[in-house]
Amino acid sequence: MDNERNQRRFESVYSKKVRAGKRRTYFFDVRKTKGEDYYLTLTESTKRFNGDGYERHKIFLYKEDFNRFLDSLEDVINHVKENLMPEYDYDEYTRRHEEFEARRNEEDDDMADDDDEPEALESNANRNFDAGSDDDMTW
């Protein structure tokens, strides 16, 4: 009973995941307090080099800080983009990620066409597991 109550206490009511390369993922979770209030947790999860699990760093962000946090984040990002590195192509990784997702979707479609072949099913299962997906992580 206590375990079930703790699970509900830390349950996300809304979540967004941002993959950032092969080893790093960011999680944005809206969580509910006992008092029916909401707050955000921002989690950076990085796969350890030795392959032994993940290292996580969390920030808790409360509603009274949302506007100042967002304003400050936008300010420092814009400072880097406009003053420190104006020549950098900030859309490069977005394009690469979109290309990667498109190739992965094509491969998934190809695998779906080979559903009758057991080798294709085994290959697809291994590919998804080996891809370093964060979907198998328990939170």
> What does the pLDDT average to over 16-22?
88
With a pLDDT cut of 90, the percent of the chain lying above it is: 46
Name the E strands within 21-114.
24-32, 38-47, 54-62
Least confident segment among 5-14, 67-76, 101-110, 112-121 = 112-121
Mean pLDDT of the region 64-92: 96
Indicate whether 138 pLDDT > 80: no
Domain locations in the chain as residue ranges: 1-63
- Report the pLDDT value the prediction gives residue 67, as an integer from 0 to 100: 98
Give whole-number Cα distances, 82 to 76, 88, 91, in Å.
Answer: 10, 10, 14
Distance CA(60)–CA(4), nearest Å, equals 22
Mean pLDDT, rounded, for 61-68: 97
Q: Is 70 exceeded by the pLDDT of residue 120?
A: no
**Closest Cα to residue 29, out of 54, 59, 55, 3?**
59
The side-by-side arrangement of strands in the sheet containing 12-20 is 12-20, 24-32, 38-47, 54-62
pLDDT tens-digit map of 83-115:
999 999 989 888 888 888 888 888 888 877 665
In this predicted structure, the answer to whether residue 61 has a pLDDT above a threshold of 60 is yes
Average pLDDT over residues 118-138: 38
CB count within 10 Å of CB 67 equals 9
What CATH architecture does domain 1-63 belong to? Answer: Roll (3.10)
Structure tokens given for 36: 């029916």
Angle in degrees, CA 27, 103, 81, rounded to 5 = 50
pLDDT at position 25 is 94
Identify the band that residue 22 occupies on the pLDDT scale cut at 50, 70 and 90: confident
pLDDT value at position 73?
A: 97
